[in-house]
Amino acid sequence: MRTSALRRAVTAWIVLSICALLLGSGIVGNTFATFNAETTNASSTFSDGWLGAASNGSATAGGYDMTVNWTPTTTGPIGGQKILGIDNTTSSNCTSAAYAAIATLASATTATYSDASRATSGTDGDWFCYELMSTSTSAPNWTTPYSFPAVQIGLVANAVTITNSGTAGTIGNGDTIKITFNQQTTLAGSGSGGLEVCSWSTTNTIVLGDTHGGTCHASNDNYSLGTLKLTGGDTIASAAFGSSTSVVSATYPWTVTVTLGGGGSSLISGSSTPTWTFTPYASIVSHQTTHQATICTAGTNCQPATSTTNF
């Protein structure tokens, strides 16, 4: 027992002696100092290799063209930028999108890109995903991506908002229907009382801008703005609102707001939150005439529905 205790004491004395020698020589201290300097010195090699991402990205439709804007990164040794993209068709989720190169940009400070004729009549209304890739001067393979929010290309009506001003569940004077477009159109306001709106029980449809001689003649009359179709088994009664009006916004967001007037009322029967699907007039075109876009009318991307609001 005494021998074991003696051995342990000797071992402890040797370990303490070695530690004292290392500390006294400065070997351990210098190693720690070198590590700390590498992590805090802004001019170190480690710091130069870090490359930040671009920010504040947006993409805006103008006709069939797209304008992409962002703020380039100023963090790290940025040497260049590339723009990538993918037509994501009916999905607005760009997560794991298989991006493909579109263009190598002129410089590391470029902050905008004009993507001419990105949409066509065949891809009108598709969701498109853009990505900006920043590249490093110190390491050619070192890149940092920035993904833009998904955006619809071409011309689409992308939202419908219904506001009831009177009796709930009844279409009546003063109620409003606001249609939002993703870009400016050539539509003009109707003026005071210059729009005919008709609801039809035979088709459960509201016709916005009936053009048959200023009267609600038939459910298949031509129209100037679009139709709202009631689905899911709900029904409406027929009614005419002969002195309705439409107001077109002069700035973004691009909206057309229809206010019903000059009619009686049309009762809605069924769900308290029925689904209305908007189909725009097929000849609506973009305000931009270069690569002018014609509105998309078919498919889920181009026929916005609302199931949370009602007359």
CATH architecture of 51-152: Sandwich (2.60)
More confident residue, 50 or 136: 136
So where are the chain's domains? 2-40, 51-152, 157-306
Question: Is 99 buried (19+), middle (13-18) or exposed (0-12) by CB count in 10 A?
Answer: middle
* pLDDT computed for residue 263 by the predictor: 87
pLDDT computed for residue 153 by the predictor: 98
Least confident of 24-28, 54-58, 115-119, 230-234: 24-28
Q: For tokens 């201290």, what's the residue?
A: 29
Name the band, by pLDDT with cuts 50, 70 and 90, for residue 307. Answer: low
- C-alpha 308/C-alpha 162 separation (Å) is 9
- Beta strands of the chain (E only): which ranges? 55-62, 65-71, 78-87, 100-104, 112-115, 127-136, 143-147, 151-152, 157-163, 170-172, 176-181, 195-200, 205-210, 223-231, 235-236, 239-248, 254-259, 265-269, 275-280, 305-306
Amino acid residing at 20: A
pLDDT band, residue 28 (cuts 50/70/90): very low
Mean of the per-residue pLDDT values for the chain? 85
Average pLDDT over residues 256-266: 92
User: Residues 229, 238, 202, CA angle at the centre, nearest 5°?
Assistant: 60
How confident is the model at residue 94, as a pLDDT? 96
d(CA 103, CA 83): 5
Q: Is the predicted pLDDT of residue 29 greater than 60, yes or no?
A: no
Q: Residue 18 has what pLDDT?
A: 43
Q: Is the pLDDT of residue 122 over 90?
A: yes
pLDDT tens-place string over residues 64-87 = 999 999 999 999 899 999 999 999
More confident residue, 298 or 214: 298
40 has pLDDT over 70: no
Region for 276 from its dihedrals, namely left if φ exceeds 0, alpha if ψ lies in -120 to 50, beta otherwise: beta
180-197 burial code (b ≥16 CB/10 A, e <16): bbbbbbebeebeeeebbb
Global pTM value: 0.81
What was the pLDDT predicted at 182?
97
Q: What pLDDT does residue 49 have?
A: 58
